[in-house]
Structure 1
């Protein structure tokens, strides 16, 4: 019987080799997925360029098969992709993203490894109740930390605020909407006092999905903005931050015991 190709990711189990990957590196940006595949993997093969959700299969230097896939921006898109990736046999997912630091001691250019998420996301509420913990897999998290230490990359491990919107949800007023709801004014300062490290938009839903679907998930994000100083992304440090996150994830994936 031939397996189906999934509607959103554009490939199915029959498109994978006889030793299919069980681990995926998941990026929001299709160009990042392509860069990872072409720069860090061997014997790369394009699986799909469907709906901007580009996917590639290849091998790490140690011979481990791996998928470099695209989630799109935000938790609703990620939830669709992750559901279909699990159906094709993926059992471990490392999200590689970007984020804004909200702690003064977490600088632009460094990386944040999320141990858990303060999850303020509508998509996650369709997966599990609000009270359901959004926690990263501890073993994948340790693998990321060990990789960053081995590569001498400045890294921070802790709680991430995972929210649905880039502007309003992250208390940005220098935008088309300077009039935030009262519930959002001061939210960044409140999160700072709660020892939250950063803002991003996907890992809370990913972590809840992992708990419900029973796969292992983790997240590493390059810090591209310092929100204790300004709202803007620091473009001069963006490439450094992203490359640090990618290098950490690839090294962790190669050394993680499946």
Structure 2
């Protein structure tokens, strides 16, 4: 089998030799053919789409008849997604600055009134809202955009905020895998009334490359498991929500169990993000900064200036990674 890796950085000692979506690894791991065309474009995963005269991407306000998606997005190599519209616009501005690209920062999907999308040369920045349902809607339509655009070897990064588990606030966590809210290493989705489970590991080689860039920064970055909660308060074992039917001792027992499972942070999208990108055969990474150590409390207490600086940290790592690719 021929290697299909589009290497971003040269291989270093002890690194994985291939990305997870490389044909060499895929065909020995999965029960299906490698989800990547020979030219690096994405194959169509849903044959029903062939029956449509026009595919309407409703939540983006785009469609395949009115818009030439190949002209609009065909050069996209990197995609950054995150929760808020503001954060993704700031990410777009940062990418434009470090790559020295002129951009008017027009929200490409403004007409749909749901998400925000900015294009900076070969980089797409997209907000996806909060939680798995909102994120997966945005992600599925993003993947269809990349398919119709015939984008080659795209890489998707989720840049987020999270609650740390046993790490100092301000630490950046690169996720090795997701963990469901029932502490299972999978993403669970009910399809036609039956629950199905999908693997949710992230690309080891990509994570190693990101860590090699992160060591140059003046903040701490670690790789660890990320818990995906379905609710910000009780779902994340907080005691400061409108409801709480467990004790502080119960909460600490749960959090210590997470520590034993290798969990270093918690947020609300990780399992689905890993599962969807993996199923699509797209390399992805989850890079989140922590706002607090949940072992010590529930509320986010740093002032706005500190939080604003911390929020930039995932973008700094990913931005420097992208910059190294284009310098190469």
User: TM-score per shorter chain, which class?
Assistant: 0.7 to 0.9
Deviates most, 85-94 or 166-175: 85-94
The reply on whether 1:243 has 2:312 as its aligned counterpart is yes
Secondary structure of residue in 1 paired with 2:58: coil
Partner Cα separation in structure 2 for residue 155 and residue 194 of structure 1: 19
**What's the CA shift for 1:100?**
0.6
User: 1:119–1:161: 8 Å Cα contact kept in structure 2?
Assistant: yes
Corresponding residue for 2:37? none
Kindly indicate whether residue 174 of structure 2 is the aligned counterpart of residue 125 of structure 1: no
Larger radius of gyration: 2
Listed one character per residue, the Cα deviations across residues 7-55 of structure 1 (whole Å, up to 9, x for unaligned) are 1123356255474313210010110011111232223342122333100
- Equivalent residue number for residue 323 of structure 2: 254
Tell me, yes or no, if the aligned pair for 2:224 and 2:263 is still in contact at 8 Å. Answer: yes
Secondary structure at the aligned position of 2:277 is classed as helix
Question: Structure 1: which 5+ residue stretches go unaligned?
Answer: 60-64
Partner of residue 115, structure 1: 176
SS of residue matched to 1:187: helix
Question: How far off is 1:124 after superposition?
Answer: 4.0
From 230, 249, 257, the counterpart of 1:190: 257
How many Å separate the matches in 2 of 1:77 and 1:197? 24
Distance in 1 separating the partners of 2:60 and 2:77: 16
1:93 aligns with 2:150: no
TM-score normalised by structure 2 residue count: 0.68
Query: Deviations along 1:62-82, whole A, 9 cap, x unmatched?
Result: xxx110001110011111111
Structure with greater strand share of residues: 1
Aligned to 1:74: 131
The RMSD of aligned alpha carbons is: 2.7
Greater shift in the superposed pair: 227-236 or 8-17 = 8-17
Summarize the Cα distance change of 1:207–1:126 in structure 2 as closer, same or farther, 3 Å threshold: farther
Change (3 A) 1:163 1:110: same
CA shift for structure 1 position 208: 0.8
Q: CA deviation at 1:206?
A: 0.5
Mark the CA change 1:6 to 1:116 in structure 2 (over 3 Å): closer, same or farther. same
TM-score (structure 1 length as normaliser): 0.85
CA distance in 2, matches of 1:229, 1:166: 17
Structure 2 unaligned residues grouped into runs of 5+: 1-52
Whole-angstrom distance in 1 between the partners of 2:317 and 2:94? 14
Q: 1:9 aligns with which of 57, 60, 63?
A: 60
Aligned partners of 2:187 and 2:218: how far apart in 1?
35
Report how far residue 3 of structure 1 moved. Answer: 6.8
Shift in Å, 1:190: 1.0
Secondary structure (helix, strand or coil) at the match of 1:100 reads strand
1:9–1:107 distance in 2 versus 1, CA, 3 Å: same
* Conservation of the 8 A alpha-carbon contact between 1:101 and 1:223: yes
Which structure has more RCO (C-alpha within 8 Å, separation ≥ 6)? 1
